[in-house]
Amino acid sequence: MPRACSRNGVIAWLFAGAMLAALAVGAAQAEALRNGPIWVYNNWSAYDELSDSVPLTEALAMRELDELLRLRRAGVHFDYYVMDAFWYAPDGGYRTWRADAWPNGPDRWLAKLKANGILPGLWFSTNTLTHMQPAPQWRGSLDASGTQLALYTGGFLADFMDVLQCWYDRGVRLFKFDFAEFGAIAAGDERRVPPTEARSRNIAAFRAALAAFRTRHPDALLVAFNGFGGDFGSTGSRFPFDEPVDVHWLDVFDALFSGDPRPSDVPEMSFWRSVDLYSDHMVRRFEQSGIPLSRIDSTGFMIGSTGTNYARKTAAWQGMLLSLMARGGRINTVHGNLEFLGDAEARWFAKAQALYASLQRTGTMSSFGGIPGDAEPYGFAATDDEGGLDLVLNPTQSVRSVNLPTRPGATAHPAERILFRDAGFEPSLAGDAIRLGPGQLALVGIGHYASAANDLGVAADVRIPRRIEPWEAVLGAGAPPAIVSGTIVPPENGDLRIVVQQRDTKGLPLRSVSENGMGEFLTITATQDGALLPVEVEYDKVLWSGLSWAVGEIRHDRIAPGRPIHLRVTSAETDPLRLDVRIYRVEY
């Protein structure tokens, strides 16, 4: 029979003297971890039961644990392994595990984690019934729809905290809270409790319950995901957020997450670079909302072959990992299929992780430059007394020089070295600035960190043009469905890059979703003398999060010299919109 958590587990801590000693040890352990960096493995995107049909099973979870231990032998550091959504039996009230996938419950997983010094974590849907039925003791908290649970009344919150205590007693030390709905009103209270009052009551009740849990268990790590503030749908969203970020959540949570990875509204030839831009942008917006960088979980690293990360596997993973660390969060979460990282990749991971380790622990982490979603060059700086690391990104369609931040107390001209860059364009350093190609990421070592021993090489899977310039074209708008078409006189040398931005009637980026892939929804078609020219694209994917742009390139060796090219750009979007099209000549 699967091992389960019994009720009334909270009573155990009240008067036990041994527990008081354990609390002291737990507080010391918690303090050591919170000084960071904390490294978390989360198995979401190795499976995906929302945007894909890959189920969570014990076999999958144990396979990823074996892979985690393999990476650790290569020098990669991990502190926690989090079991993400849908581990629980739908009718078990978070006390039992799904019998079809976990016939013996979590015992083997928990035992192997303990034997190897890895702390377990669990995902919980805060107060939304996500693929589950309400336990009998929760029914007094149900709203009229039967899908949400009030936290201010009924039996749910007390029982939920009992559940957390149960799993704490089983060794769980990280609790991930997702899908919070603080507007939930218990059925029958609709006329008596106004929505604003219900929200205030729910937040106050949950915050008080978590505060009490933290007091008892200072070694528990609590992280907040969807529902705790922030607008995640688009980098074109208004700021400040329509759903404000409440800094008081930091009284009970170790970190707030800033959105699952998805493409930004900044067009890039490298689809994965646009995804990097989204996470960078959301971190900056949370920082602007008053959340310290150290308390933001960017959730920006996902590898795997499921729908949640658009089947990226390990495409452009090195820049993704460096970005995760550079953003400054104490909690660094790695999602997905660890088996996709071979032994060479594991060694690179360990080297990059070690390079940032002391800076994340004792250095100062800060942002600089423009706002990523506004396509302005920007970066993240990590600084200590010996120098630091600057991760810099140019999201524009031009070669740009980006000023690096001045470090207090630094010599006039500290040593500088480019430690990592995308392939193609070769960045150059001049004084306090770096020159980057369009869409390029680079890591710069300063002072002590500007050592050849710290070189991390070149990312071969992101290729940046060595030259780029705007190219004239005669284009005109057509009738709906949205069409832009016209003629291009091809250049004598170089490729053609076509950049398309889809906007609504207010000029804001308009994201569309297509079940058949965005390549059939936003199309770029080119013909010469009546024959189709191949247009290379990376955005042709099924995207649960939608897309507002398209970028494609026509290679010069496919173009007949001196003959005009007819270009046609279409969108299948039914909402009113306009298509902005820009053409560039690029050389690789």
Report the candidate in 271, 276, 241 with the shortest Cα–Cα distance to residue 547: 271
Report whether 167 contacts 174 (CB < 8 A).
no
CB atoms inside a 10 Å sphere around CB 315: 17
Q: Are residues 457 and 493 in the same domain?
A: no
Q: With 0-12 CB in 10 A as exposed, 13-18 as middle and 19+ as buried, what is 430?
A: exposed
Q: Rounded to whole angstroms, how far apart are CA atoms 177 and 30?
A: 19
Q: With 0-12 CB in 10 A as exposed, 13-18 as middle and 19+ as buried, what is 492?
A: exposed
> SS3 for 13-45, per residue?
HCCCHHHHHHHHHHHHHHHHHHCCCEEEEECEC
Q: Are residues 270 and 134 in the same domain?
A: yes
Q: Are residues 44 and 135 in the same domain?
A: yes
Q: Residue 4: inside a domain, yes or no?
A: no
Q: Are residues 451 and 489 in the same domain?
A: no
Identity at 5, one-letter amino acid code: C
Helices 195-216 and 156-169 pack at an angle, to 10 degrees, of: 20
Q: Rounded to whole angstroms, how far apart are CA atoms 526 and 553?
A: 10
Beta partners for residue 544, in sequence order: none
Report whether 38 contacts 44 (CB < 8 A).
no
Q: Residue 329: inside a domain, yes or no?
A: yes
Count of structural domains, the chain? 3
Q: Rounded to whole angstroms, how far apart are CA atoms 295 and 458?
A: 30
CB atoms inside a 10 Å sphere around CB 389: 28
Report whether 168 contacts 216 (CB < 8 A).
no
Q: Residue 343: inside a domain, yes or no?
A: yes
- 509: domain range? 468-587
Q: Are residues 352 and 479 in the same domain?
A: no
Q: Rounded to whole angstroms, how far apart are CA atoms 424 and 438?
A: 10
Task: Read off the CATH number of the domain in which 430 is found.
Answer: 2.60.40.1180
Q: Rounded to whole angstroms, how far apart are CA atoms 16 and 135?
A: 30
Place of tokens 């955005």: 539
Q: Are residues 292 and 421 in the same domain?
A: no
Q: Residue 454: inside a domain, yes or no?
A: yes
Strands 255-257 and 296-297: parallel
Q: Rounded to whole angstroms, how far apart are CA atoms 480 and 109?
A: 55
Q: Are residues 91 and 222 in the same domain?
A: yes
Q: Are residues 149 and 163 in the same domain?
A: yes
Q: Residue 1: inside a domain, yes or no?
A: no
Domain end residue (candidates: 442, 463, 484): 463
Q: Are residues 117 and 261 in the same domain?
A: yes
Task: Read off the CATH number of the domain in which 161 is found.
Answer: 3.20.20.70
Report whether 54 contacts 47 (CB < 8 A).
yes
Q: Are residues 394 and 515 in the same domain?
A: no
Q: Are residues 28 and 140 in the same domain?
A: yes
Per-residue pLDDT of the chain (588 residues; tens, 9 = 90+): 345 776 443 333 333 333 344 444 455 555 655 677 999 999 999 999 999 999 999 999 999 999 999 999 999 999 999 999 999 999 999 999 999 999 999 999 999 999 999 999 999 999 999 999 999 999 999 999 999 999 999 999 999 999 999 999 999 999 999 999 999 999 999 999 999 999 999 999 999 999 999 999 999 999 999 999 999 998 987 899 999 999 999 999 999 999 999 999 999 999 999 999 999 999 999 999 999 999 999 999 999 999 999 999 999 999 999 999 999 999 999 999 999 999 999 999 999 999 999 999 999 999 999 999 999 999 999 999 999 999 999 999 999 999 999 877 666 567 999 999 999 999 999 989 999 999 999 999 999 999 999 999 999 999 999 999 999 998 887 655 578 999 999 999 999 999 999 999 999 999 999 988 999 999 999 999 999 999 999 999 999 999 999 999 999 999 999 999 999 999 999 999 999 999 999 999
Report the candidate in 254, 300, 294, 297 with the shortest Cα–Cα distance to residue 278: 300
Q: Residue 382: inside a domain, yes or no?
A: yes
Q: Which residues of 204-228 are buried (b: 16+ CB within 10 A; e: fewer)?
A: ebbbebbeebbeebbbbbbbbbbbb
Q: Residue 496: inside a domain, yes or no?
A: yes
Report whether 165 contacts 9 (CB < 8 A).
yes
Q: Are residues 182 and 227 in the same domain?
A: yes
Q: Residue 2: inside a domain, yes or no?
A: no
Domain end residue (candidates: 304, 332, 362): 362
Task: Read off the CATH number of the domain in which 558 is found.
Answer: 2.60.40
Q: Rounded to whole angstroms, how far apart are CA atoms 106 and 550?
A: 45
Report whether 264 contacts 235 (CB < 8 A).
yes
Domain end residue (candidates: 362, 383, 414): 362
Token digits for 173? 């030390």
